[in-house]
Amino acid sequence: MYLKKLSIQGFKSFARKTVIDFAPGITGVVGPNGSGKSNVSDAIKWVLGEQSMKNLRSKKSEDVIFSGSEKASKAGMAEVSLDLDNSKRIVPIDFTDVTITRRVYRSGESEYLLNGAKARLMDITEILSKSGFGRSTYTVIGQGLVDKLITQTAEERRELFQDASGVKHFYVKRDQALRKFKETKENIVRVADVLREIKPRLNSLERQQKEAEERKIISKNVVELQKRYYGSELLDIESLLEENENKFFSLEKEYKEVQAEVAIITQKLEQRTESLEKQELYSKEKDIENLELKIQSLQDKLFAQVRDSALNVEKKKYFSENLPRLEEELSQISVVVSEKESQIEKLKEKQSELKSELEKLIVLKSDLEKNVNKKIEPKDIIFSIKESLEKL
C-alpha cells in the first residue's frame, strides 16, 4: 500500500484545487520559502485525523480554510482527499483504491468520507489501525522533532509499537469496553442507591395498591349499578316516546282531515262569492248598458228633431210642443240611471263585505291550525265555520 494522490482545495494557502501525484518510491516536494511545502504535510496529517491545531500550526479549525488574498476571495470550506493503493488488500475493505476525504466549513461543521460515503473518524482510524497505518506509524519530521523522539517516554514508544504491530485497534476496543464497564458499574451503584431509597416506601406502596384495588372493585360495582339504573330509565323513556309518537301521528291525521275540510269549505266559499259577484255585476252592467242605449237613442232623436226643426218651421212648432215631454222623459231616464248606479255601489259594498268575510275565514283557518296543536276538537271548529258560512 502506498500514497497515490493528494487533492487539496481551500486548505490554507491552496485556494484552487491542487492535485499532487505520488509514484512508488521516494517523492520530494521542493520550493522556495513560503511556497506551501509545509502545508502539504499539514494536509496529509489533517486528512488522516489530526485534531491538534498546534500540530497544524493553527489556533482554531477555521484557520485551515483559505482566508483569501489579493487575487482570490476566501473559501467557504477546506477539503483534502488522500488516495491509497489497496491492490494488496492491506486495508481491510474490498476496494483496489481507498480514498479518505475530510471537509470543514466556516460554520464549524466537518465530515469524513470513505470512498465517497460519509464515515466517522473512529471508523477510519480503526480501518487504518488494522492495516498497520495508525497515526504513530508514520512520522512528519519537523523542526525539533528529532530531539522529541530521543526524549520520548516509554508510554509514547509503546503506542508507536502498538500501531506498527497492528494491535492498536484492539487496545482502542479494550479502552471502549473498559469505559462502558465503568459506566455500567456506576449505573449499578446508582440503581442500588435508588433501591435503598425505595425500600422503606414498599409497605406504603403495598397499602396504596390494596386501596387502589378496593376502589377499582367499588368503581366497577358503581358502574354496574349505574348501567342497570340508566337501562331501566331508558326503557321507560322509550315507552313514553313511543306513546307520544302514536299520539302525535293521531293528531297529525286529524289535523290533515280538518285541513282538507277547511280547504273544501274555503274553495266553496270562494266559488260562491265569485259566482254571486259575477251574476250581480253582470246584471247591473247589463241594465246600465240598456239605459245608456236608451239615453243615446233619445239624444239621437232629440238632435234629429232639432236638426229637422232648423230646416222646417212647422217642425219647429211641433218640437216646441213636444220638448217638455221629451225633457221629462229624459229626466225620468236620468233618475233610473242614478238608481242603477246606487245599486252598483251597494253591490260593491256587498263585495267588500264578502272579502272581509273571506279574510275572517282565513283567520279562522289559522286559528284552526293553532287549535289543532292545542288539541281542540276538530268537529267543533268545523261546526263554527259552517255556522259562519250559513250567516253569509
Whole-number Cα distances in Å, 334 to 298, 325, 327: 12, 14, 10
- CA–CA separation, 333 and 335 (whole Å): 5
Residue 273's pLDDT band (cuts 50, 70, 90): low
* C-alpha cell read off for 181: 464497564
For 18, residues 6+ apart whose C-beta sits below 8 A from its C-beta are 7, 8, 9
Start-to-end CA span in the chain (Å): 128
Q: In which element (H, E) is residue 64 found?
A: none
Domain boundary among 135, 166, 189: 135
Range of the domain at 86: 3-135
Q: Is residue 45 part of a domain?
A: yes
For residue 47, what is the domain's CATH number?
A: 3.40.50.300
- CA–CA separation, 354 and 103 (whole Å): 106
Q: Is the pLDDT of residue 107 over 80?
A: yes
Task: Look up cell 302525535; give the residue.
Answer: 248
DSSP 14: B
DSSP character string of 114-157: ETTEEE-HHHHHHHHHHTT--TTSS----TTHHHHHHT--HHHH
Q: Is residue 351 part of a domain?
A: yes
- CA–CA separation, 201 and 195 (whole Å): 10
Q: In which element (H, E) is residue 344 found?
A: helix 313-373
**Sheet-wide strand order for 97-105:** 18-21, 3-9, 77-85, 97-105, 110-114, 117-119
Domain boundary among 135, 157, 183: 135
Domain boundary among 135, 162, 191: 135
Residue 58's pLDDT band (cuts 50, 70, 90): confident
Range of lowest pLDDT (88-97, 121-130, 260-269, 300-309): 300-309
The pLDDT score that the predictor gives to residue 166 is 56
Residue 354 near residue 234, CB atoms below 8 Å: no
Handedness of CA 198, 201, 206, 208 (dihedral sign): negative
Which of 215-224, 278-287, 313-322 shows the highest mean pLDDT?
215-224
Average pLDDT of 230-257? 80
Residue 131 near residue 137, CB atoms below 8 Å: no
Average pLDDT of 319-336? 68
Whole-number Cα distances in Å, 63 to 73, 75, 100: 15, 11, 21
More confident residue, 195 or 185: 185
Phi and psi, residue 279, nearest 5°: -65, -50
Q: Is residue 152 part of a domain?
A: no
Range of lowest pLDDT (206-215, 246-255, 282-291, 374-383): 374-383
Q: Is the pLDDT of residue 167 over 60?
A: yes
Q: Is residue 228 part of a domain?
A: no
Residue 87 near residue 78, CB atoms below 8 Å: no
More confident residue, 311 or 285: 285
The pLDDT score that the predictor gives to residue 113 is 94
- CA–CA separation, 386 and 114 (whole Å): 108
Whole-number Cα distances in Å, 88 to 2, 129, 268: 10, 16, 118
Task: Look up cell 466537518; give the residue.
Answer: 110
Helices H, strands E: what count in the chain?
A: 8, 6
More confident residue, 139 or 242: 242
Task: Look up cell 464549524; give the residue.
Answer: 108
- CA–CA separation, 241 and 249 (whole Å): 12
Q: Is residue 249 part of a domain?
A: no
Q: Is residue 279 part of a domain?
A: yes
Average pLDDT of 2-7? 88
Phi and psi, residue 99, nearest 5°: -115, 120
The pLDDT score that the predictor gives to residue 7 is 94
The pLDDT score that the predictor gives to residue 375 is 45
* Cα dihedral value 254, 257, 258, 263, nearest 10: 160
- CA–CA separation, 99 and 83 (whole Å): 4
Range of lowest pLDDT (37-46, 72-81, 307-316): 307-316
The pLDDT score that the predictor gives to residue 303 is 65
The pLDDT score that the predictor gives to residue 95 is 85
DSSP 201: G
Q: Is the pLDDT of residue 158 over 80?
A: no
Q: Is residue 34 part of a domain?
A: yes
Q: What percent of the chain has pLDDT over 70?
A: 70
Residue 372 near residue 251, CB atoms below 8 Å: yes
Q: Is residue 285 part of a domain?
A: yes
What total number of domains does the chain contain?
2
* C-alpha cell read off for 31: 520550493
